Chain A
Amino acid sequence: MNTQRTLEHLIYGLFLLLGLVAVGCVLLITAYLVFSGLPAIREIGLVDFLFGDTWASTASEPRFGILPFILTSIWGTAGAIALGVPVGFFTAVWLAKMASPRVRSIMESAVSLLAGIPSVVYGLVGMLVLVPGIRTFFDVPDGASLLAAILVLAVMILPSIIKVSMTALQAVPQEYEDASLALGATPIETYFRVSVPAAKSGIAASVVLGVGRAIGEAMAVMMVSGNVANMPSLFESVRFLTSAVVSEMSYSSGLQREALFSIALVLFFFILLITASLNFFLKRGKEA
């Protein structure tokens, strides 16, 4: 009997340990990013680092201002949201409320395929379709630009938006819709004036999730955005927070390398804000 109890205690301890692994990982990541990211910020100066408009890490007198990267990431994400959210939202309403079960299941697997395509494949297609397309269509010298990145990101966030919005829309109680229909509203009015408002926390969460995916995407953006540290402009070659880290990491050293870790710290800070607001929307959805 006693060995039985020790065994149970041991196993309890083991599972507790496994449960704590996730917490340990978060602490580890935070600690490493803070400790490796702070030295460069301290040396460069927080204001010069965040608001400096020139990044010239390999110049004889190096300048480490990441404002171009921050603004590019913000504009790129905003553009992707502006294009991706309407398409994703209307697709989700249609799939959740109007599509026949057969069409819905086909579209659902199409959407999860979209989510499963690796980001380098998006980058490759972007490189060979979007970049030359933008060059000839808008008659600009180089198609590798912020616009190309926005288009790729808009496609990449579509699946998260469609899936999460759809789940929220399908969870709206049937009674709400029945009541609205009984009062004389048409089906379309019911979907957009009753179901959508009832699912608004979930839809908001899907947008926030899209923001998180867009701001954190590295490889696809790296392949289509031209990768020059310019201030963001639709047809200019630009560099995102993520691609700034990827493009210089392999050959960096000294302060330059430390500055790349600081960029990752800034990105991590953005992501924490996004996760916090995601939690806020999801919790509100649960309470409502």
Chain B
Amino acid sequence: MLSQKLSPRRRGYAAFMRILMAMAALSTAALVAFLLAYVLGKGIPHLSWELLSTKPSYLTERIGILPDILNTLYIVAAALGITLPLGVGAAVYLTEYAENKRLVSAIELAAETLSGIPSIIYGLVGMLFFCQFMSMKTSLLAGALTLVIMNLPTMMRTTQESLKTVPQSYREGAFGLGAGKWRVIRTVVLPGCVDGILTGCILSVGRIIGESAALLFTAGFAHSLNGFLEGLNSAGATLTVALYVYAKEQGEFDVAFAIAAILMLLALAIDLATALVGRYFKHRRNT
């Protein structure tokens, strides 16, 4: 249509930009496809029931990652259990209670600073504060507490975003009927922002599963099989830390790829869960 009347220079510009965009988007897509295919392709053949259901044994030279799977679950449960009330509470304070503008901006600045700090620094401070100062030694609990601080900003932000979408008129209606502030929050505001809280939880689980640098010096490398409470008090490697140790220090690349494939599948599952939660609540809100 119009393009026939354009000067060659403008046509050239459009074509050039189109090519650049196509190249960039294609390479991004190819990269994701390659990573998925490579990791799953090299990892899944090495996934066996024996690997998943046993612990490592030096006697039979067998490698099993059951302890690492359990450690990951324990850390996710402990860290999420603490992050959830802290993050939601902070978000409720910011959107429902806070009147002092300065304090609000101080808290928001703190959350932004926290989300920028690299995990290795969390690891060091976690080691100094939880393991040494609070004398928890190197343990899953110390690791989980370190991850609580790391995930606090995520939980705060997603909850806050969703609190802002609860219509002001709901609150006013409840106040008008004589409800106190706490009752309004409990019965009107919090139920209205379940989606944000849920999204925050899923994102945090993803970050906890993928974290390694913050756990190296707080939760340690051990591969022993423990129950939940006993496990929290003893050192243990999560899947990511185990991958690092097997790949970098022991040269067991087959095991490393098997773990990588598990982590990849978990990342896919988390991606899917976030999308589903978003879609489900969007649908519910519109009807």
* A residues apposed to B, CB below 8 Å: 4, 7-8, 11-12, 14-16, 18-23, 25-26, 28-29, 32-33, 36, 86-91, 93-95, 98-99, 107, 109-114, 116-121, 123-125, 127-129, 155, 158, 162, 186, 188-189, 191-192, 212, 215-219, 222-223, 242, 245-246, 249-250, 261, 264, 267-268, 271-272, 274-275, 278-279
Contact = CB atoms under 8 A, between A and B. Distances in A.
A12 to B, nearest CB: 6
A22 B248 contact: no
B116 A271 contact: yes
B21 A91 contact: yes
A169 B18 CA distance: 17
A249 to B, nearest CB: 6
A125 B36 CA distance: 11
A11 B182 contact: yes
Given A29-B117, A112-B274, A118-B267, A8 B112 contact: no
Interface in B227-249: 240-241, 243-244, 247-248
Interface stretch (B60-68, B163-171, B207-215): B207-215
Interface string B86-106: 100110111011100001001
15 contacts: A15-B97, A21-B90, A21-B152, A26-B113, A29-B117, A29-B149, A99-B25, A107-B29, A119-B210, A124-B247, A186-B10, A189-B14, A219-B213, A219-B244, A275-B113
B177 interface: no
Interface of B: 2-3, 6, 10, 13-14, 17-18, 20-25, 27-29, 31-32, 35-36, 38-39, 85-86, 89-90, 92-94, 96-98, 103, 106-107, 109-114, 116-122, 124-125, 128-129, 149, 152-153, 156, 180-182, 206, 209-213, 216-217, 240-241, 243-244, 247-248, 253, 256-257, 260, 263-264, 267-268, 270-272, 274-275
Which 3 pairs across A and B sit closest by C-beta, in order of nearness? A216-B118, A18-B89, A90-B24
Contact of A19 (B24, B93, B263): B93
Contacts of A268: 117, 121
A20 B156 CA distance: 12
Contacts of A267: 118, 120-121
| Secondary structure call for the A interface | helix
A120 to B, nearest CB: 5
A109 B36 CA distance: 13
B248 A113 contact: no
A268 B89 CA distance: 28
A268 B120 CA distance: 10
A119 B247 CA distance: 13
Contacts, number: 241
Contacts of B107: 19-20, 22-23
A246 B93 CA distance: 37
Nearest to B21: A94
B93 A15 contact: yes
A19 B124 CA distance: 24
Given A19-B90, A22-B90, A219-B213, A162 B271 contact: no
Nearest to B211: A118
A117 B270 CA distance: 11
A110 B29 contact: yes
B182 A94 contact: no
Contacts of A87: 24, 27-28
Contacts of A29: 117, 121-122, 125, 149
A237 to B, nearest CB: 14
Contacts of A272: 113
Kindly name the residue among A110, A192, A242 whose own CB sees the greatest number of chain B CB atoms within 10 A. Answer: A110
A123 B118 CA distance: 17
